[in-house]
Structure 1
Amino acid sequence: MTTSTDQGANLSNWRTSPFNVWAFHHVREIVPVAEIAAGPGPARALPEALRSFDDFRVQGLGGQTFDWPGFLEATSTDAVVILLNGEIVSETYAHGNAARTPHILMSATKSVTGLICGVLADQGRIDLDAPVSALLPAAAASAWGDATLRQLLDMRTGVVMSPADLQAYADATQWDPVAADAPLTDLLQFFATTTTGFGPHGGPFSYVSANTDLLGLILARVTGQSFATVVETLLWRPMGAETDAQITVDRLGAARCTGGLCATARDLARLGQLVADGGVRDGRRVLPAAWLDDLWAGGDRQAWRDGQFAPAFPGREMSYRGGWYRIHGDPDFLFAMGIHGQNLFIDRTSGLVIAKLSSIGNPFDPRVVALIHRGADALRNYLVA
């Protein structure tokens, strides 16, 4: 079914320009979602210590220099919240977004899924070295059957999806219209019936979004709860989120853990601050310290160098671990990233957190991505140096 809106956005066009500008903060009106409740306790305070950005400048790849408003416009910014040591130094909204407007995070959702894996592993409820087949027998015959949860988390499975596989996967997610003659499907059925080709697991970084949706099914099975409930219980409420979040679901209610989370920029910044603080909020541990340390130090740099994304980040020494990207250098950023310009940058040394949500027309525009990263570097120098 194609759901229309008075903005012209519907299931067939909601991720394309110009419809995405409206759709990215009205996802629940287009795609089915499950709620992730905030509260009932008080939200984590975000005191203001606003700074002037009049002298901020960043240079793009073509040599053009952008001031702060120009940078925000050039990167199609919908919302940005910047924290320094837990205080808001800048907060800006555009294109109909506001402080309590959930916006889709796209693949930055993978980073949240990774954190949930960390909590459950710390609790002894999942074994990251276990194969998929042991935790989700329905997927045992698939290309993912003998991959470990760690390999799913680190995007190091050898799965190679054919065009037919990708169409079947798209049909299962509810993110696109399904052909009238296509059979009813869902994420679990996709993984149970898709025997796509693959090579050895554990090799170079290879970005397969389905890996994280499979993780979500496993986490729901292990906990006996929906993924939305698990996030609400283990992360959203304990970290002090201010606003309810949502996550898109398939026709049977399974969450799109690879890209469907919708949250405000303020709450995304709160999440970043929690990571920067070592997983502790107001003296209470929310995220395991060892898991966060592993995000910073545990990634395989050679797997990144040999992987498919390295050419998009020239001159960067990087790794990918547990759904998070790490830049090894100065600044030393851990970051979450989603297509169309969703980003969360964390520099735990300086206490800088940048939560930026966008509606860039191109899913991955190398020049705009480069400008966003140059902007993050420039912000760190501007605010900290």
Structure 2
Amino acid sequence: MDLQQIDIIRQNMHFAHRFLPTATVHRSGGDVSPIASEPLHLDELAFVDATGRATTLSQALERTHTDAFLVMHRGKIVYEKYYSGMEPTLRHGLASVTKSFIGTLISIELFVGNLGANDRVDRYIPELADSAFGDATIQQLLDMQISCKYPIFFPEANYIDNQRNLLLTAIGTIPAKEGYTGPKTIHEYLASITKSQEHGSAFLYSNGPTEVLGWILGRVNDTSLAELLSQRIWSKLGTEEDAYFVVDSVGTEQACGGLHATLRDVARFAEMMRNDGLFNGYRIVPKAVIGDIQQGGRRDLLAASNRAKARPGYSYRNQWWITHNRFKAYEANGLYGQRIHIAPLAEMVIVQFSSYPGHSDETARLFSHGFEAIANHLN
């Protein structure tokens, strides 16, 4: 692997706030919620990964260029490791793990009745009426059943590559070239996306639906996404540090992948989800919201998609990946190997931060048996 590429990824994951504009997700300012620790020696825990290779946990962490890794069992930290300059107080990029935070916020809005699952996007965002998203429902956005021409970050054709450059310019991660006349913000870019077929007919994972969900959250609540996440979740977890979003030139948060946070604070969020929305004695997320996520979505649509090989048997629901394994685990996954793995029946959560120079499907395959091996060992 190209070590220089890995170093660039790691710098972006660790220090985005130094070179990109951001919006703070404030912690409460109150006491930090304590997490007990009972360390176990899991380095030599053996399993066979999805490629058929025998490995140990420590070898798998090294192979995937992991920056930080934490396992909680029954509310206690049993394994916590930091590598390659990562520290407990350093906020790491979560990439598409961010989507699951957005999905959870939207699910709360559905539960309290501020939104309807079958409501069309153009009811809330008329600016998108003529785009691919205008006639889509909120549930179709949540479940990635939006058929549109939205770029991916690992292009397979020049068309996609050109669209990717437009996207990166719109979100502000690459500068606009002289004479550039394309979209200059996230919202402008969303309005330019066209529809490819009827929504609801296929699972098509992309960043567009989540960006639209973020826009809807801001519009319905008349506040920023960073402030909403702080109010509804982050300030209630007793987090140690503020989190932050990377934002575009007008301050719009990257809902699809712009969140950065510390390892233990993400573990607090995961543990809250494992406990059906309760944490530190407080109800943060309605139990019904988490139950809806856990039931999963249409496995047939995911099985017919290009994500099936890395996630056999999975479904996708409300911006979460559902394993349907014996521990009823569900996950948040992100580019370069970011992961939240929640296994309620194993009473376990795992958080992984990485700088792996490849698609998240690759690290998902490498760890697809590893998380279950840890759960088996702990139980």
Residues 131 and 195 in structure 2, CA contact (< 8 A), matched pair in contact too: no
2:6 match: secondary structure: coil
2:369 match: secondary structure: helix
Residues 153 and 323 in structure 1, CA contact (< 8 A), matched pair in contact too: yes
Query: What is residue 42 of structure 2 aligned with on the other side?
Result: 53
**Equivalences for 1:110-189 in 2 at 5 Å?**
110-161=99-150, 163=160, 164-183=162-181, 185-189=184-188
Matched, 1:382 2:371: no
Give the letter aligned to residue 218 of structure 1: I
**Equivalences for 1:322-361 in 2 at 5 Å?**
322-361=318-357
For 1:102-157, what per-residue CA distance to the aligned partner results, in whole angstroms no more than 9, with x for missing partners?
10000010000001111222222222221111000111110110001111111001
Number of residues of Structure 1 aligned to a counterpart in Structure 2: 367
Distance 1:343 1:265 in 2: 11
Give the letter aligned to residue 167 of structure 1: N
Distance 2:260 2:317 in 1: 22
Residues 152 and 215 in structure 1, CA contact (< 8 A), matched pair in contact too: yes
CA displacement at 1:166 relative to structure 2: 3.7
Query: What is residue 155 of structure 2 aligned with on the other side?
Result: none
Give the letter aligned to residue 294 of structure 1: D
Percent of pairs with identical residues: 29
CA displacement at 1:52 relative to structure 2: 1.6
For 1:188-230, what per-residue CA distance to the aligned partner results, in whole angstroms no more than 9, with x for missing partners?
22223x1523210112211121110111111111111000000
TM-score of the superposed pair, with normalisation by structure 2:
0.92
Two-structure CA RMSD over aligned residues (Å): 1.9
Say if 1:144 and 1:62 are closer, same or farther in 2 by CA, change over 3 A: closer
Query: What is residue 5 of structure 1 aligned with on the other side?
Result: none
Give the letter aligned to residue 238 of structure 2: G
Distance 2:263 2:193 in 1: 39
Residues 245 and 260 in structure 2, CA contact (< 8 A), matched pair in contact too: yes
Residues 240 and 265 in structure 2, CA contact (< 8 A), matched pair in contact too: yes
Distance 2:164 2:220 in 1: 26
1:23 match: secondary structure: helix
TM-score of the superposed pair, with normalisation by structure 1:
0.90
Say if 1:325 and 1:63 are closer, same or farther in 2 by CA, change over 3 A: closer
Distance 2:112 2:5 in 1: 41
Residues 82 and 88 in structure 1, CA contact (< 8 A), matched pair in contact too: yes
Give the letter aligned to residue 245 of structure 1: A
1:237 match: secondary structure: helix
Give the letter aligned to residue 374 of structure 1: H
Distance 2:44 2:123 in 1: 56
CA displacement at 1:16 relative to structure 2: 4.1
Residues 165 and 196 in structure 1, CA contact (< 8 A), matched pair in contact too: no
Distance 2:207 2:46 in 1: 35
Residues 141 and 195 in structure 1, CA contact (< 8 A), matched pair in contact too: no
Query: What is residue 263 of structure 1 aligned with on the other side?
Result: 261
**Equivalences for 1:212-291 in 2 at 5 Å?**
212-291=210-289
Say if 1:54 and 1:156 are closer, same or farther in 2 by CA, change over 3 A: closer
Residues 138 and 191 in structure 1, CA contact (< 8 A), matched pair in contact too: no
CA displacement at 1:375 relative to structure 2: 1.5
Matched, 1:68 2:57: yes
Distance 1:34 1:242 in 2: 17
1:92 match: secondary structure: strand
Residues 60 and 371 in structure 1, CA contact (< 8 A), matched pair in contact too: yes
For 1:219-244, what per-residue CA distance to the aligned partner results, in whole angstroms no more than 9, with x for missing partners?
11111100000000001011222211
Distance 2:139 2:332 in 1: 18
Matched, 1:373 2:368: yes
For 1:31-77, what per-residue CA distance to the aligned partner results, in whole angstroms no more than 9, with x for missing partners?
21111111222222210011122541123455543333222211111
Say if 1:297 and 1:365 are closer, same or farther in 2 by CA, change over 3 A: closer
2:288 match: secondary structure: helix
For 1:289-346, what per-residue CA distance to the aligned partner results, in whole angstroms no more than 9, with x for missing partners?
1111011114111222222311223xx3111001100111234310000010000100
Q: Which runs of 5+ in 1 are unaligned?
A: 1-14
Query: What is residue 29 of structure 1 aligned with on the other side?
Result: 18
Give the letter aligned to residue 97 of structure 1: M
Distance 1:64 1:167 in 2: 37
Query: What is residue 154 of structure 2 aligned with on the other side?
Result: none
